[in-house]
Each structure stands twice: as C-alpha cells, then as structure tokens.
C-alpha cells in the first residue's frame, strides 16, 4: 500500500517499534511455531503480542522493491498530530493524508486532536476513510478489522488516496 502511494506522493513510514523483516518463507511449520509462541505467552498470563511482532515482515517482491526505493525507511512514532501534519518534538512534517494501520485495535486516542469521534464516541466511517475527512484512513478499524479485510481496505485506501493526491474523482467504497 505505501509503495502505491510513494509513486504519486512523498511518504513517511512511521511505526511504534522497529520492524523485523524475515527472509524465510512462511511455511506451515513456521505458522505452528508462531501459534505456539502466542499460546505460551497467554498461558503465562502475558498479553499476546501483535501478529507481525511474532511473524516478522515477509520479503515479498513488493517489499523488496519498496526497501530498495527507500519507501520503507522507518521513522519512530510522532509525538502528536495536528490538522496539518505530524510533530516529532519541535520538528513538524506537513501531511496531506494519514493512513493509520490500526493493528486491529480501536486505540485511537492519539488522534483526539483531529476531533474525529462523533457524539456516540465512535468514528463514523465511509469506506476506509473517516466520513467527511477523505485524508484520514483507518485500516483495521471497523469492518476492515481482519487480515482479509485489512488487505482489501489497504488496497482501497491506497487507490483512494492516490486519486485524492492526483486530483482524480472519488470512487464509491464498493469500487
């Protein structure tokens, strides 16, 4: 998704922790080991870790291309957001759009300055973007909170943001 946007805009990849890329193939045996690791943590009363923290990120053709192009040059989490962009201490980076891949959690308090929540406490969505705010997409929030849903939603958000950034007409969420 990020590599799709990098073709039409300057992008910044921000993650809570440094990503770990795995070079090996994700086999059935490796999958069983991941499940066992998660089960062991839960059996010990520890909170489960995110799936990607256990599996690592795969080196698909797309990932290798994005790494080579410098698109996946990871930056640490920003301190705060404002309507015009993100802040790391006193350093400001303007942003025309924000794609927040939630990790399947609705923990979005850090977005409070953007005043996205409605009177009922939730965030009204239109496809992958916040209703009325086509620049903010929440991948893994609401209906996209599954692996399959997030993959589809990520592709849809990338297309919508690419179109927004190049000035193309908006698509319907079903497109």
List, run by run, the mean pLDDT of 10-residue segments along the chain (175 residues).
82 85 77 75 63 72 86 91 91 88 68 84 83 85 63 83 79 49
0.75 exceeded by pTM: no
Place of tokens 């929540």: 117
Place of tokens 């997409």: 137
Q: Read off the pLDDT of residues 36-81 as tens digits, 9 standing for 90 and up.
A: 777 677 566 665 566 667 777 777 788 888 889 888 899 999 999 8
State the Cα–Cα distance between residues 120 and 133, nearest whole angstrom.
18
């Amino acid at each position: 998704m990020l590599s799709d946007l990098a073709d039409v805009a300057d992008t910044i990849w921000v993650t809570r922790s440094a990503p770990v890329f795995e070079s090996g193939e994700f086999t059935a045996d490796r999958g069983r080991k991941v499940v066992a690791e998660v089960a062991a943590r839960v059996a010990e009363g520890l909170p489960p870790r995110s799936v990607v923290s256990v599996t690592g990120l795969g080196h698909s053709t797309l990932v290798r291309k994005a790494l080579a192009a410098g698109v996946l040059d990871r930056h640490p989490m920003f301190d705060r957001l404002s309507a015009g962009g993100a802040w790391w201490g006193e350093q400001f980076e303007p942003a025309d759009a924000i794609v927040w891949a939630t990790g399947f959690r609705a923990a979005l308090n850090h977005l409070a300055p953007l005043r996205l929540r409605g009177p009922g406490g939730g965030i009204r969505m239109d496809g992958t973007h916040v209703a009325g705010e086509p620049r903010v997409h929440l991948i893994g929030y609401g209906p996209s909170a599954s692996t399959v849903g997030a993959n589809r939603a990520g592709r849809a958000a990338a297309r919508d943001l690419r179109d927004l950034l190049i000035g193309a007409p908006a698509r319907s969420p079903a497109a």
